[in-house]
Amino acid sequence: MVIIGAGECGTRAAFALREAGYDGTVTLVGAEAHLPYERPPLSKESMVDPEAPSIKAIADAARLAEHHIDLLGSTSATSIDRANCSIRLTNGSDLDYDKLLIATGSLPRKLPLQGLGLRCLDLRTFDDALAIRAHLHAGSHIAVVGGGFIGLELAASARNLGALVTVIEAQPRILMRGVPAEIAQVVHEAHDAEGVDIICGDGIASIEDDGASVHITLSSGQVVAADLAIIGIGALPVTALAETSGLALNNGIAVDARLRTSDPHIFAAGDCCSFPLAIYGDRRVRLESWRSAQEHGVLAARNMLGAEEAHAAVPWFWSDQYGLTLQIAGLPDEGELTVRRDLDDGAFILFHLKNDGRLVAASGIGPGNAVARDIRLAEMLIGKSARPDAVALASPSTKLKSLLAA
């Protein structure tokens, strides 16, 4: 069993192969020099570590050894020879597989502009986090291009460290993709209250680095000068290996509900693939979500061993900014009606329903864990294609657990 990509999904898959009782060779090929690590803290708690960002490992060397997982670090796969079931590595050697998992993740989308210098950074890896952190200190001015999750989490971390922050978003509001306007508004207000300047509806015309700072000229003509520009305009799936070896692509590597690619010996999972979601009539989605990457890793491993199990999990995502946690279960854009449930301390949940009453998503925001329990129960209702009573959903005195039982 060979896995390309020693990130969240690939590493989880390696352990899942062992948990499923597989006792043959498991090789995890990873381009990065570090042991497998968690990415979500890089924009959040790691970024504000008093000293410097630290790595939160998924598995240390001892645990990998204990499970007989061979990690080839600092090594990339450069091609797949499907006819001979073998991959070529950057060290020049070839590695044969019976089953192959591609878990190559995604990489930040680049701004289509020339001349972006060392003061224009993006965040995907621990090394990126170290480079960004070197610029975040009291009084430094940080421009964040893109009002998506990573940009906004970095804006919050930069403020926490005393930097001045301007966020520039081309869309009319922040968190345009996948987050309801009412929730995005709460996040916007939290940034306002912390002194972040958010500019919406203005694109980037050019960025110049004069050696001391960056000057960002917006489409409106306004110029934002900063010590660092962080580019957070989304991510693209890493598909080069699949592309050159002729695997089917469709917004990432196209896999079926069992995470199998167009080659029955090759699976793909995590951020790099798109797959059909049965609960939404097989709508094809590509998720960039920590929990989904883990679930995919486990499912791919089981199916590499012949389990033939279909993906059944409900998508789930969270983001932390200041003291607020936002959570989304399901796909809110599938909903046609919204029901709001107000909880304590300003927290609230939006339930997204089809016209026929079927619950398809729930999104919530509030301090700390305020929405966690209800979102968890909503996720179970979504998974059951439940049609809960709208009045009961809206009433905080109705326990969602009782709706689940019903």
Ligand X SMILES: Cc1cc2nc3c(=O)[nH]c(=O)nc-3n(C[C@H](O)[C@H](O)[C@H](O)COP(=O)(O)OP(=O)(O)OC[C@H]3O[C@@H](n4cnc5c(N)ncnc54)[C@H](O)[C@@H]3O)c2cc1C
- Residue ranges binding ligand X (CB under 6 A): 4-10, 29-32, 39-40, 42-43, 76-77, 103-105, 123-124, 150, 238, 241, 270-272, 288-291, 293, 317-319
Least separation in angstroms between CB 129 and ligand X: 7
CA–CA separation, 296 and 315 (whole Å): 11
Closer CB to ligand X, 271 or 334, in the complex:
271
Least distance in angstroms from the C-beta of 69 to ligand X: 15
- Beta-carbon contacts of 273 under 8 Å, excluding residues fewer than 6 positions away, are 102, 237, 252, 253, 254, 255, 259, 261, 286, 296
Task: Provide the H-helix boundaries in 234-281.
Answer: 240-244
Q: How far is the CB of 288 from ligand X (least distance, A)?
A: 4
- Kind and range of the H or E run holding 394: helix 390-394
Compare residues 147 and 270 and give the one whose CB is closer to ligand X: 270
- Shortest approach of ligand X to residue 289 CB, angstroms? 4
Quick one: 30 or 335, whose CB is closer to ligand X?
Answer: 30
State in Å, rounded, how far the first CA of the chain is from the last one.
44
Closest CA to 59 of 90, 28, 31: 28
CB 309 within 8 A of CB 141: no
Taking the C-alpha atoms of residue 132 and residue 128, their distance in angstroms, rounded to an integer, is 6
Shortest distance (Å) from residue 225 CB to ligand X: 25
Closest residue (Cβ) to ligand X?
7
C-alpha torsion 165→168→172→173, nearest 10? -40
Nearer to ligand X, 107 or 113 (CB): 107
Whose CA is closest to 10, among 91, 124, 100?
100
Nearer to ligand X, 63 or 291 (CB): 291
Provide the token pair at 404. 């689940």
Structure token pair of residue 25: 């060779």
Contact 398, 392 (CB under 8 A): yes
Shortest approach of ligand X to residue 58 CB, angstroms? Answer: 9
Q: Please state the closest distance from residue 398 (CB atom) to ligand X, in A.
A: 28
Query: Are 254 and 282 in contact, with CB atoms under 8 Å apart?
Result: no
Shortest CB 146 distance to ligand X, Å: 13
For ligand X, the closer CB: 271 or 403: 271
Smaller CB separation from ligand X, 300 or 400: 300
Nearer to ligand X by Cβ, of 300 and 350: the residue is 300
Judge contact between 166 and 216, C-beta under 8 A: no
